[in-house]
Amino acid sequence: GAGVSQTPSNKVTEKGKYVELRCDPISGHTALYWYRQSLGQGPEFLIYFQGTGAADDSGLPNDRFFAVRPEGSVSTLKIQRTERGDSAVYLCASSLWEQETQYFGPGTRLLVL
C-alpha cells in the first residue's frame, strides 16, 4: 500500500518568510510524528499527534514552529519568520497506534537563504 508522503520534496525560501510542510500518513494510522534532521545528525523529535491532538510537542524549538492535524489524518508543520538555522530535512512518520512501529516519509528538504 501507499507509504507516508510529504510535500513538497524541496522548499527554498528567504529568511523571514512563512512556510508550510505537509504530511500524508499511511491510511488508518492514528499516530503521526514530525522530526527534523540536520546535516550529519540523526533525526530529532519535534512533535507527535494521537488523532487530532498534539500529545507531545516538547521538541518544537520555539514558538515560530507550529503543527496541526485538524481531521486526524493529514498534518501540516508551519514555520513562521524562517531563519537560516531552520534549514534541515523535515521528516514525518506515522504508526497504527502510538506505541507501534513508526514508518517514515521521504522528508522535505528546507533551505532558508
- The contact set with other proteins (CB under 8 A) reads 4, 31, 33, 35, 40-45, 48, 55-56, 59, 91, 93, 95, 98-99, 101-107
Amino acid in position 44: E
Alpha carbon distance 6, 75 (integer Å): 10
CB of 88 to other proteins, least distance (A): 13
**In terms of C-beta density within 10 A (0-12 exposed, 13-18 middle, 19 or more buried), how is residue 22 classed?**
middle
Nearer to other proteins, 24 or 105 (CB): 105
Q: Distance of CA 85 to CAs 38, 74, 105, 110, Å?
A: 9, 26, 22, 10
CB of 106 to other proteins, least distance (A): 5
CB of 38 to other proteins, least distance (A): 11
Nearer to other proteins, 20 or 98 (CB): 98
